[in-house]
Structure 1
Amino acid sequence: MNAPERLETTCSRAWPPLVEEPLGEWSLRWADGFTGRANSALAVGDPGRPVGGALRAVCDFAHARGIAPMVQVVRDSPNEHAIAAAGWVPATHHGAGHEVAVLTAPLTPAPPIPGCAVHDEPTPGWWDLTLNPGEDSPVARQVLTGGKVGYGVATEGAGTAAVVRGALVDDWLHVGRLEVAPAFRRRGLASALMGAVQTWGTEHGAGHAVLQVAEGNSGALALYAGLGYALHHRYRYWVPAPGSCEDSTS
């Protein structure tokens, strides 16, 4: 695998699905529909068979588990070109955005900021801000607590003002689910909490941070650029054209 594909594998380990099956170097993932990353095939490396056959296996896996077939693939990679040639199309309907920027930054400890802490267990307030309306389920909670995770919380008074998730994989800190409550925005809490979770990462042996942001999220992209994050690569989600994804076993 090349560097973008290796990093995608790292990110997948930081966001573990409930079911994962290898397809050569590709990975078939299921988490009952909670997030695209945990419910798509990660198309990196060699699937061990022609791409057309690999995509049929993606369809079989997805249909057997009641999710829509979808692949996540590094943008402009040989795998993406082969997937497009097989008749699949960009997943423009994907609610979180089908084109994603992967950003990285070196980690250095930040001075402690009062009110910002990273916990070993999620707090009730962390759950309240992390899960979007309609997302709360046992599966979602299992995905978000899988692996070695730090739960960043910024408090104002007795309330939870902002949250973030940090997951450790080897020497990488995967950052996700940064959210600031509407009443507390534009106070610098996002940057402060990012500093807290990055310090937590260095304390646990991480040397670099990685995060994934939808290309259309200009506010988040500007925030992370200001914190020293730079583009590493991009990925996209692809889905079969209508009527083209039939189970090979049917």
Structure 2
Amino acid sequence: MTEAGQIENACADAWPALTERRLGGWRLRAAGGFTGRANSALAVGDPGTGLASALETVCDFAHAQRIDPVVQTIKDGPLEPALREHDWRPYAEYAGGHEVAVLLGGIDSTTRDPRVRVLDAPTPGWWRLTVGGTEPTEAQRRVLTSGPAVGFGVAEVDGGTAGSVRGAVADGLLLVARLAVDPAFRRRGLATALMSGIGEWGAAQGATRCVLQVSVGNSGALDLYAGLGFREHHRYRYWVPWKDRAS
């Protein structure tokens, strides 16, 4: 398997779906529609069957889980031309951004900010910034609190939660996601402080590199991470069938 495939599998371990089924090297995932990553088939490696049969299985699984059939594949990889031949297309209308840059960087475990703590369990303030409310759905709770090792970073200002971030370690990689700062507390260095705090936590869990998955349309986040030394390793895209046979 390529390094990009290894990274994607580690990220899938660090971002577990509510329901997952293996199809050879592929991973069919569903989580009630919460995030594209947790509701798509990660198609890297060999599915162990012909492509037409594998794509049919993807559709059957998705329909059984009451989600749309979606395939996540490495951009410009060998699978993409074959997907076109089987009447699949890039999911360009996906609201979260169908093309995603996967960034790699080192781990900053030296810069400490007293405003940031990394907790073993999410707080109501963390949930509020992460999902927009203090009562997560079953799928949100599963995706965001499960994994080999998960940390919940919070930035606290004036006794309240002003920022949040999620970190999870798998296969030596720290996957950082859901970085958020309350609009009332922006431009105070909290995003950088949260990245440093979750990096310190990740290093203590054995991570040696940090990975981020950012929509190519999110220029603000890409600029932030470029300033922190992150560089693009590869991209992935979501694909859907031109015509869903069971729709």
Relative to the length of structure 2, the TM-score reads 0.96
**Does the alignment pair 1:100 with 2:100?**
yes
Paired with 1:106 and 1:174, the residues of 2 have a C-alpha distance of 12
- Aligned residues, how many? 246
Within 5 A, what are the aligned runs for 1:1-250? 1-132=1-132, 136-147=136-147, 148-242=149-243, 244-246=244-246
Q: Shift of residue 17 of structure 1? A: 0.6
Tell whether the 8 Å contact from 1:34 to 1:135 is kept in structure 2 after alignment.
no
Amino acid at match of 1:155: E
Between the aligned partners of 1:201 and 1:64, the Cα distance in structure 2 is: 36
Secondary structure, aligned partner of 1:234? strand
Deviation at 1:208, TM superposition (A): 0.4
| More displaced stretch, 79-88 vs 229-238 | 79-88
One-letter identity of the residue aligned with 2:145? T
Note the alpha carbon deviations across 1:110-151, whole angstroms, 9 max, x for none.
221111111111111000000047993122112100011100
Distance change >3 Å, CA 134–CA 145, structure 1 → 2: closer
CA distance in 2 between counterparts of 1:225 and 1:67 reads: 34
Alpha-carbon separation, structure 1, partners of 2:72 and 2:209: 23
Contact 1:62–1:69 (CA under 8 A) maintained in structure 2: yes
Change (3 A) 1:30 1:116: same
CA distance in 1, matches of 2:15, 2:158: 31
* Gap runs ≥5 in structure 2: none
Q: Distance in 1 between matches of 2:180 and 2:110?
A: 20
The question of whether the paired residues in 2 share the 8 Å contact of 1:171 and 1:208 is answered with yes
> Kindly, what percent of the aligned residue pairs are identical?
54
> Does structure 2 retain, via aligned residues, the 8 Å contact 1:121–1:150?
yes
